[in-house]
Amino acid sequence: MFDIFIDTHFSAGHHLRNYPGNCEQPHGHNWKVRVTVRATALDELGMGIDFRTLKTAVNKVIDTLDHRNLNDHESFRTTNPSSENLAVFIFDALGQELTTDRYQPYSVEVRETDSAGVIYRGR
């Protein structure tokens, strides 16, 4: 098994509906994201997945979040844009494009700060 990952980031604002504290107020983060794909075999070039393929797929998803109010995003109009829900959204959005007979998404890590985040490994 090979776990291949890339790190990226995006900036966005949000607020957590019905949160009993200051996070209910609009605020922003410079979110850090790590996407890991698990490969069970290597291709003829000796790669589990080309980093370029992984980056392209991840950037398509991240571009829908970057410099936005996440509460206005179609996926978060009724669901809180928490780190957990963002990780699920990113993981699910990558599922079809990054699933082959050799590899598939393994985990998505979302960090609000350098010291606080979540790792989601799928359902």
Tens digit of each residue's pLDDT (9 = 90 or more) over 6-15: 999 999 999 9
- CATH number for domain 2-120, candidates 3.30.420.40, 3.90.1150.180, 2.40.50.140, 3.30.479.10: 3.30.479.10
Place of tokens 């829908």: 64
Q: What is the pLDDT of residues 45-93, one digit of tens each?
A: 999 999 999 999 999 999 999 999 999 999 999 999 999 999 999 999 9
Is 67 in the active site?
yes
Q: What is the pLDDT of residue 111?
A: 98
Say yes or no to pLDDT of 123 above 90. Answer: no
Distance CA 78, CA 74 (A): 9
Crossing angle between the packed helical segments 51-63 and 83-94, to the nearest 10 degrees: 130
Which entry of 14, 29, 109, 112 is annotated as an active-site residue?
112
Please pick, among 23, 73, 84, 97, the residue that the annotation labels catalytic: 23
For the stretch 15-32, what's the b/e string if a residue is b when 16 or more beta carbons lie within 10 angstroms of its beta carbon?
Answer: bbeeeeeeeeeeeebebb
Average confidence score pLDDT of the chain:
97
CB 105 within 8 A of CB 94: yes
Q: How far apart are CA 15 and CA 3, in angstroms?
A: 33
For the CA atoms of 112, 110, 9, 67, what is the dihedral angle to 10 degrees? -60
Angstrom distance (rounded) from CA 71 to CA 78? 8
> What would the two tokens of residue 9 be?
């980031």
**Distance of alpha carbon 48 from alpha carbon 88, whole angstroms:** 23
Domain ranges of the chain: 2-120
Active-site residue, selected from the candidate residues 9, 24, 67, 109: 67
